[in-house]
Amino acid sequence: FVLITQSLNKHRNHWRSQHLDSNVTMPKSEDEEGWKKFCLGERVYSEIDALSDNENLGIDYIKVGFPPLLSIVSRMNQATVTSVLEYLISWFGEKKFTPELGRWLYALLACLEKPLLPEAHSLIRQLARRCSEVRVLEENKNEEQISALNLIICLVSRYFDQRDLADEPS
């Protein structure tokens, strides 16, 4: 994770200079609903289980959400990273954990610069606590999901020095 954050910071200007595809329109920083749809896709956002148009072979990012590509996250300043993290954590407080959500949370954590702003500090603590709650409810059900939740808890507790939120060694 440390190497990822260092690489991201080192190459941020390069990725920022890359053109986004014409279908990528990033929401404004204060557009909470826009960011939730952008990151998670309308399918997850609207909680639609099945895609009805199977004949379409291309990926419809409006439906499935944009992945946290370097060309996207490199354009985000710390205020935007914090805002989007806040939106996704509030989403996660009410909804289930999805792979799309996990990818975005990981990418946004990698974009957070230390020392943390107070609001970011509070957000990541809230995120780790929510991951712990969901993990208890998911115990032995979905190992892939448990691993993702464990990773987020570990990053918050170890990388961001929130040791009191770390799992106790058994």
Q: Which of 61, 57, 21 lies closest to 42, judged by CA?
A: 61
Tell me, what's the pLDDT at 58? 63
Residues with Cβ < 8 Å from 63, sequence gap 6 or more? 41, 42, 43, 51
Q: How far apart are CA 131 and CA 30, in angstroms?
A: 25
Residues of the chain with pLDDT under 50: 51, 53-55, 57, 170
Domain boundaries, the chain: 1-165
Tell me, what's the pLDDT at 77? 93
Helix (H, G, I), strand (E, B) or coil at 169: coil
DSSP string, 103-114: HHHHHHHHHPPS
Helix (H, G, I), strand (E, B) or coil at 88: helix
CATH code given to domain 1-165: 1.20.58.1070
Q: How far apart are CA 124 and CA 120, in angstroms?
A: 6
pLDDT tens-digit readout, 87-135: 999 999 999 899 999 999 999 999 999 999 899 999 999 999 999 999 9
Tell me, what's the pLDDT at 49? 58
Classify the C-alpha dihedral 100-7-31-63 as positive or negative: negative
